[in-house]
Structure 1
Amino acid sequence: MSNDVFALSGRFDVAIIGAGIVGCALARRFALEGASVAIIDKASDILDGASKGNSAILHTGFDAPVGSLEQACIAAGYAEYLEIHGRLGLPLIKSGALVIAWSEEEKALLPSLMEQARQNGVADVEPLGEAAMRRAEPGLGAGARAAFRVPREYLIDPWSAPFAYLLQAIENGAQVLRGAEVTGGRRDGIDWSLETSRGTVQAGLVINAAGLWGDLLDEKLIGRRDFHMKPRKGQFVVYDKPAAQLASHILLPVPNKITKGVVVCRTAFGNLLVGPTAEDQDDREHATLVPETLEALKKRGEEILPALRDHQVSAIYAGLRPATEFKDYCIKAHDKSYITVGGIRSTGLSAALGIAQHVLKLAALDLTKPADPAWPVVSNISEYFPRDWQSEGHGGIVCHCEMTTRREVLAALDGPLPARSLAGLKRRTRVTMGRCQGFFCSAELARLTEGHFDRPMAEKA
């Protein structure tokens, strides 16, 4: 049965604005605590803002600022993901990471970075001289000088995780309102009345998890903002699946004050990823791909792994990270009725569950946990675990590049949180994400999705 509604009625304990990674984790946590939850997003589908583009790494937080809220949330989120991923059917690819120095100056920084990791509770970092480093990753370029290993940095599916969080929230009573922009709101001393493009939502507590629009939403609802959003664009290059054999670890650079730098790693979907860049901009909506920047990114990837020169790029993409003028997260309870969760940047995937724990404490609601909460299991779309095409009765392959079955597509168009856009269907099933980028499967997808999307595939934007 679909939870897809066009208006919400009744009063909710909590209204969460924004259905990105953090909003989905918040909805899950509050629903599991027994709150009545509404989650509102202006897009047709979830994860349509900053959350749609990231590196898909489960970070330990080894390089986070010591004592920061970010570090605490990453550590808590990491631990909870390890605890729950099996019950929700979420993948975990135990790759480990190497932090690699490419100059003598960077090599001199490795001991202090390892000490920072230990202060952050990541005590199992291991220094590697050049010989040991090359035994661990024989394909590294000639410029690599030394490294240290972070054994518990892992790869995960960046879309199935928040989808599972929100699905669990729904199955424990939460309601979702998509395509509903919050246009205003007022509080009568007890409850909020949020005005949206699809009606009014009544709630006792409002949580602003609006990502790239969080500061403007604060100004709209409470008349002030404590940070200013400065979107940071990250461009990525994705190599075709044979390139994944070139690296077994996540290959990390020595970070600087602005960015973690360009990463080379496998993805949960069997590709090899190079990126992101870090480019500040004012535009909150468009992450434009720049050919010159992508060429420079390819060149850097080939310096790290020279064998990449012999492999094909299958996709390029860009995302925006909700950076602010502050290095730490901007999470604040303004009073007992309004909490802002802003400035989460690139570590949101790892920290989301920990952020939800922290916000629950700030909310200090008097709640009663359900005695037997529901634990849905999501379908696996990771290349490293059994896929639907390997079982009987799947109805045939729709997307041959990504081996997505008809059964998977139809399931994603139904259920409690159906896909309402091609982008949403991609994130649930991997359709059109392979080497042909939808050239061969788009006609069949247009037929299967007819009547399901807000904007039909055949309609030009």
Structure 2
Amino acid sequence: MPLADVAIIGAGAVGCAMARRFALEGAKVLVLERGADLLSGASKANSAILHTGFDAPPGSLEQACVQAGYAEYMAIRGRLNLPVLETGAMVVAWTEAEQAALDGVEAQARANSVDDVRRLGPAEIRAREPHLGEGAREALLVPREHVIDPWSPFLAYLLQAKALGAEILFGAEVAAGRREEEHWRLETSRGRRRARVVINCAGLYGDVVDRRLLGESAFEIRPRKGQFVVFDKAAASLLRTIVLPVPTERTKGVVLCRTAFGNVLVGPTAEEQQDRDRAATDEAALKALIARAVEMLPALEGMPVTATYAGLRPATEEKGYRIAAMPDRSWITVGGVRSTGMTAALGIARHVYGLYERLGHSHAAVAEPECPPMPNLAEHLPRDWSAAGHGGVVCHCELVTKREIEQALAGPLPAGDFGGLRRRTRCAMGRCQGFHCLARLAVLTEGRFAAPLATPTEAP
């Protein structure tokens, strides 16, 4: 049985970045993901905002990882063809109390070395966002907060890891394990595996994995549900900037922003629940989100809603990241990574590699491998439908081509289920939510997934 240097449990945003970092450093990497595809857990419902760390606690691990992750993302995005929709963000104060709190928000940003922030008065707010509702008293402009594709970066990270020899197993839940001499023996739903060091990136199940293999956990996951509303693409012309609320002690609040795919998004809510797997939407919360969006951007009144969804964030009893190395057990836990995890993932991976080195391990770093550029899904850049030979458009709402579908089902990391295919291509994620393209997709994916789509005769 082969022996890996590290076994990374979980292929969410952090796990994918972790696999890339350790593979680049020369480690022999094993990734164990219980889902059928990457981003099967909390990470699939991220808000796609690339954070500067302006509002992170100064001097915190979160602040350091967010800013390191931002810098690395911007450095590698060109070669990986990862889009950035340059929007900037405004923290908008609508009340006198919120306006008073902007001083603290600005001071925090400057303490975090985000020195390009500046205050905007009502006239400047209106000039930047003419469709914004009345009553905005003042705002803090954060020019380098942007919007990105929420899924393609992590596929790129995992593809790089695989190109460097990483073994990636989906449908591989870690059921048990024990330390034997100089390595861990892990029992998974896909057989036994061995690794010198285990890195727990299990997200919503981080504490469960710690208790299952270590007998204890230093934290408790308290799933926090966030619901979102996605407005039709026609709404994108109404908004240029990410509109952020003045944050509270408990939550960053409801955000209004464009998406890389040409929609407008509002959310999330912040609701604690016990269920770690199911995040259901509810009508009252969605109506409240729509009402808040219309209050901020009145032209959204009557705008069609393309989709609603809910995601879970792996909150704990403390706000900070719960990252710790256990030298005597050859184990590193990466837990409690919430809304900033998408940006921070690359920074977290670098930090954890440093912890790994302090455990006494080192490798010979390799040159970053050639990685084919990711297919572009962003609306503001050229898409596959505009290039010759695409084989026809399968999903007309999102203009997804047959070639894009076929490429997502092939290659070193083909889509493992329908959710993975949607995240790779955006098929069935537009106005009709698959009503018109599901039959064609069932034909194109026949025999590919453990849970097949309806056959053409069964599809609506």
With normalisation by structure 2, the TM-score equals 0.97
Match in the other structure for 2:242:
250
State whether structure 2 residue 366 is matched by structure 1 residue 383: no
State whether structure 2 residue 284 is matched by structure 1 residue 292: yes
SS of residue matched to 2:86: coil
1:372 CA displacement:
5.8
Counterpart-to-counterpart distance in 1, 2:116 and 2:426: 35
Counterpart-to-counterpart distance in 1, 2:9 and 2:209: 9
Match in the other structure for 2:448:
452
| One of 337, 346, 353 as aligned partner of 1:353 | 346
State whether structure 2 residue 95 is matched by structure 1 residue 99: no
Counterpart-to-counterpart distance in 2, 1:371 and 1:238: 40
1:142 CA displacement:
1.4
Amino acid at match of 1:24: C
Match in the other structure for 1:342:
335
| One of 79, 84, 89 as aligned partner of 1:87 | 79
State whether structure 2 residue 186 is matched by structure 1 residue 194: yes
Counterpart-to-counterpart distance in 2, 1:111 and 1:376: 45
SS of residue matched to 1:134: helix
Counterpart-to-counterpart distance in 1, 2:21 and 2:368: 15
SS of residue matched to 1:420: coil
| One of 101, 119, 133 as aligned partner of 2:125 | 133
Match in the other structure for 1:6:
none
1:269 CA displacement:
0.5
Task: Kindly provide the CA deviation profile for residues 225-276 of structure 1, in whole angstroms up to 9, marking residues without a partner as x.
Answer: 0000000000000000010111100000001111110000000100000000
Matches within 5 A, 1:366-377: 366-371=362-367, 373-377=369-373
Counterpart-to-counterpart distance in 2, 1:30 and 1:234: 31
Match in the other structure for 1:423:
419
Counterpart-to-counterpart distance in 2, 1:340 and 1:374: 30
Matches within 5 A, 1:194-343: 194-335=186-327, 337-343=330-336
Amino acid at match of 2:147: L
Identify if the C-alpha distance between structure 1 residues 371 and 106 changes in structure 2 by more than 3 Å, giving closer, same or farther.
closer
1:375 CA displacement:
2.8
1:371 CA displacement:
4.2
Match in the other structure for 2:43:
51
Amino acid at match of 1:434: G
Cα contact 2:68–2:344 (8 A) shared by 1: yes
Matches within 5 A, 1:4-15: 9-15=1-7
Cα contact 2:24–2:368 (8 A) shared by 1: no
Cα contact 1:172–1:374 (8 A) shared by 2: no
Counterpart-to-counterpart distance in 2, 1:286 and 1:144: 37
Aligned pairs, number: 452
Counterpart-to-counterpart distance in 1, 2:171 and 2:400: 27
For structure 1, the residue ranges without an aligned partner over 5 or more in a row are 1-8
State whether structure 2 residue 175 is matched by structure 1 residue 165: no
For structure 2, the residue ranges without an aligned partner over 5 or more in a row are none
Cα contact 1:168–1:376 (8 A) shared by 2: no
Task: Kindly provide the CA deviation profile for residues 189-230 of structure 1, in whole angstroms up to 9, marking residues without a partner as x.
Answer: 200011001101100110000000000100111111000000
Cα contact 1:239–1:313 (8 A) shared by 2: yes
Counterpart-to-counterpart distance in 2, 1:327 and 1:44: 30
Counterpart-to-counterpart distance in 2, 1:374 and 1:204: 28
Match in the other structure for 1:4:
none
Q: Percent identity?
A: 59
Counterpart-to-counterpart distance in 2, 1:398 and 1:437: 13
Counterpart-to-counterpart distance in 2, 1:322 and 1:189: 33
Task: Kindly provide the CA deviation profile for residues 65-103 of structure 1, in whole angstroms up to 9, marking residues without a partner as x.
Answer: 111111110000000000001111100111100000010
Task: Kindly provide the CA deviation profile for residues 350-393 of structure 1, in whole angstroms up to 9, marking residues without a partner as x.
Answer: 10000000000000021011246333321111111111111001
Return structure 1 stretches of 4+ with deviation > 3 angstroms: none
| One of 146, 151, 155 as aligned partner of 2:143 | 151
Task: Kindly provide the CA deviation profile for residues 35-62 of structure 1, in whole angstroms up to 9, marking residues without a partner as x.
Answer: 1101011111110100010210000010
Counterpart-to-counterpart distance in 1, 2:18 and 2:241: 31
Task: Kindly provide the CA deviation profile for residues 398-438 of structure 1, in whole angstroms up to 9, marking residues without a partner as x.
Answer: 00000000000000001000001110000000000000000
Match in the other structure for 2:23:
31
Counterpart-to-counterpart distance in 1, 2:20 and 2:296: 39
| One of 392, 398, 401 as aligned partner of 1:402 | 398
Counterpart-to-counterpart distance in 2, 1:50 and 1:451: 27
Match in the other structure for 2:176:
184
Cα contact 1:446–1:457 (8 A) shared by 2: yes
| One of 32, 49, 53 as aligned partner of 1:61 | 53
SS of residue matched to 1:394: coil
Identify if the C-alpha distance between structure 1 residues 371 and 82 changes in structure 2 by more than 3 Å, giving closer, same or farther.
closer
Match in the other structure for 1:75:
67
Counterpart-to-counterpart distance in 2, 1:454 and 1:412: 16
Cα contact 2:322–2:334 (8 A) shared by 1: yes
Amino acid at match of 2:325: A
Counterpart-to-counterpart distance in 2, 1:60 and 1:402: 30
Q: RMSD of the alignment, in Å?
A: 1.1
